[in-house]
């Protein structure tokens, strides 16, 4: 192999390593944003509404014994509420109420799916696929953290119109949905034939 080809291969490898690092950082960023948003809503919006007292800091909330706060609805606009909803199902309250062992089953399924997506992410050589996988991984792990702590996921965004409410959701759900939509759109509507989408790790 010529020196120029070796240089090109090394450059491509470094670029791919950087992309993987950025994708992993995106997943971590989603987890942080998801957990911070849940802490802020529970401790500084919901709790003051319940007992008139603001909650504690993030780490105090995160490491204290988890308590299931009662359901609350705060009207923000004519089409948007902040709610305190405990989702024992999956994203957007699907399969809610699966029984006492449902949380463990859903954690196991979410972890398995996350590992599959992580494998695909580490093999991906195209930014769109890597970004989609990273968004799904970050969102899935954000909800896994809730389910491991509370046995349910904190949902607080409630949009409604004409008396109909979309199931409450959170930042993790937005990330999962955005990642899946990105993967579907790229797969269906963009011609990537002939481009290298995956590489061996």
Q: Name the residues annotated as catalytic.
A: 155, 173
Write the DSSP symbol of residue 151.
S
> From CA 55, how far away is CA 90, in angstroms rounded?
27
Give the total residue count for the chain: 201
Place of tokens 């930042």: 171
DSSP string, 7-33: HHHHHHHHHHHHHHHHHHHHHHHHHHH
| Nearest residue to 113 (alpha-carbon basis) of 123, 101, 105, 125 | 105
State how far the Cα of 102 lies from the Cα of 106, in Å rounded to an integer.
6
């Amino acid at each position: 192999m010529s020196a120029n080809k070796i240089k090109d291969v090394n450059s491509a490898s470094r670029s791919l390593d950087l992309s993987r690092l950025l994708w992993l950082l995106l997943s971590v960023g989603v987890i942080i944003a998801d957990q911070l948003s849940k802490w802020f809503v529970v401790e500084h919006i919901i709790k003051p509404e319940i007992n008139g007292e603001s909650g504690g800091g993030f780490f105090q909330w995160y490491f204290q014994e988890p308590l299931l706060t009662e359901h609350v609805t705060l009207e923000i606009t004519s089409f948007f509420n902040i709610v305190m909803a405990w989702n024992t199902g999956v994203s957007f309250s699907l399969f809610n109420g699966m029984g006492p062992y449902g949380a463990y089953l859903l954690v196991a399924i979410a972890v398995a799916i996350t590992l599959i997506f992580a494998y695909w992410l580490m093999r991906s050589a195209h930014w769109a696929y890597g970004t989609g996988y990273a968004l799904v991984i970050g969102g899935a792990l954000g909800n896994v953290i809730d389910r491991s702590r509370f046995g349910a996921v904190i949902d607080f965004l409630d949009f409604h119109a004409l008396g109909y409410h979309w199931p409450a959701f959170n930042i993790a759900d937005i990330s999962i949905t955005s990642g899946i939509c990105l993967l579907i759109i790229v797969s269906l509507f963009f011609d990537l034939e002939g481009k290298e989408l995956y590489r061996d790790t």
